[in-house]
Amino acid sequence: MRPVSGFDLVVPETAEEAIAALQTLGPGEAAPLAGGTDLLLDVDEGRLTPRRIVSLRRLPWRTLDWNGDSLTVGSTLPLRSLEDDPQVRVKYPGLYEAVRNVGSVALRHRATLGGNLVRAAPASDLIPILLALDAEVDLVGPQGDRTVPVDRFVLASRRTDLRPGELVRSVRFPEPRPSDFLWQRVRPANDISQVVVAVAFSPSGRRWRVAVGGVSPRPTLLTEAAEALGNGRPNAAAVRRAAESASARAPFVTDRRASEEYRRRLVGTLLERTVARVAGAKVFPA
Ligand SMILES: Cc1cc2nc3c(=O)[nH]c(=O)nc-3n(C[C@H](O)[C@H](O)[C@H](O)COP(=O)(O)OP(=O)(O)OC[C@H]3O[C@@H](n4cnc5c(N)ncnc54)[C@H](O)[C@@H]3O)c2cc1C
């Protein structure tokens, strides 16, 4: 058995106590713990060696709040609770699809949106749909509260704009959008996605959003592909142009899971399919 380096476990009751527990140690020496499905593996395998783990389980952030149609998801809410909410499925169908495709049911009883976002894995199944839905991250920290769009929060592979002592309190979705999410994996139930495509249409802005994940170090918004789709239900030529743009423009890499060429082709195909599914929504006049 491999020895795991020792750490203190702190279980604060308030955000202020959690921030203080993180702040008193140097960078990387204290780590927040939500579901632990990423963090505890990193500790077990020696990739992270925190001296202190700060559990977030007693903080009042396992919440799902509606303000009209806009949705705020507490960062420590298990993904399974998000997936089980009937309104999420209707108002944010792309989010529902992305969440229910993360790992297994057992995993989703522990894993959280906050943990997925802060981990910022290149093949995260959730970050692309957060980008497509223009989600915003609500942060609390030693310098107070701030809100950052997901596109500015995720900086690179496993790197975010989180500052020392800061925590993600919640993730906010401003408006319901017809949206969808598709992925390709070798083994569906227990594998990392080779390609993820998330698409949404904003009824208020009359614009599309297209995001890809799994293809490059950072999940990315594809603005040219989105513009090619126009301001409403796209015709076949517009969808083709968008798919070609996505295949040409996304920053693809080759790694052990798939080649650049395979990903390039797949992004175009998945984009066409997601747009076709979203274009059936009622917001588009018949
Ligand atoms: C078997 C298996 C299958 C998986 N399948 C998928 C999959 O299909 N798709 C996918 O996208 N991911 C998958 N994952 C990855 C993982 O489950 C997700 O990334 C999960 O959402 C992480 O959430 P968590 O609550 O477990 O995070 P944790 O492990 O608790 O934390 C992850 C990171 O975020 C930090 N953190 C957590 N919460 C906060 C907060 N509120 N504020 C600041 N920092 C915070 C932690 O310090 C840590 O660095 C899988 C993992 C496993 C083990």
Q: What is the pLDDT of residues 84-135, one digit of tens each?
A: 999 999 999 999 999 999 999 999 999 999 999 999 999 999 999 999 999 9
For residue 3, what pLDDT is reported?
Answer: 54
Q: Whose CA is nearest to atom 14 of ligand 1?
A: 103
* pLDDT grade for 154, boundaries at 50, 70 and 90: very high
* pLDDT grade for 282, boundaries at 50, 70 and 90: confident
Contact 228, 241 (CB under 8 A): yes
Evaluate: CB of 115 within 6 angstroms of ligand 1: yes
Q: Whose CA is nearest to atom 27 of ligand 1?
A: 115
Position in ligand 1 atom list of the atom nearest CA 61: 41
* Whether residue 1 has pLDDT greater than 60: no
Amino acid at 200: A
Neighbours of 72 (CB within 10 A): 17
Give the residue-averaged pLDDT of 138-149. 97
For residue 184, what pLDDT is reported?
Answer: 84
- Using most ligand atoms within 8 A of CB, pick from 29, 43, 119, 162 the residue to mutate for ligand 1: 119
Q: Whose CA is nearest to atom 18 of ligand 1?
A: 116
pLDDT digits over 233-268, tens only? Answer: 999 999 999 999 999 877 777 777 878 888 888 999
What is the dotted CATH code of the domain comprising 64-173? 3.30.465.10
For 223-232, give one letter per residue: b (16+ CB within 10 A) or e.
eebbbbbbeb
What is the dotted CATH code of the domain comprising 179-278? 3.30.390.50
Q: Is 12 helix (H, G, I), strand (E, B) or coil?
A: coil
Contact 173, 70 (CB under 8 A): yes
Better-predicted residue by pLDDT, 139 or 252: 139
Instruction: Report which of 255, 277, 270, 158 is spatially closest to residue 211, judged by C-alpha positions.
Output: 270
* pLDDT grade for 14, boundaries at 50, 70 and 90: very high
Neighbours of 53 (CB within 10 A): 20
Ligand 1 mean position, distance from CA 102 (Å):
10
Contact 177, 201 (CB under 8 A): yes
For residue 252, what pLDDT is reported?
Answer: 76
Evaluate: CB of 73 within 6 angstroms of ligand 1: no
pTM value surpassing 0.75 = yes
Q: For residue 96, what are the β-bridge partners?
A: none
Q: Whose CA is nearest to atom 52 of ligand 1?
A: 37
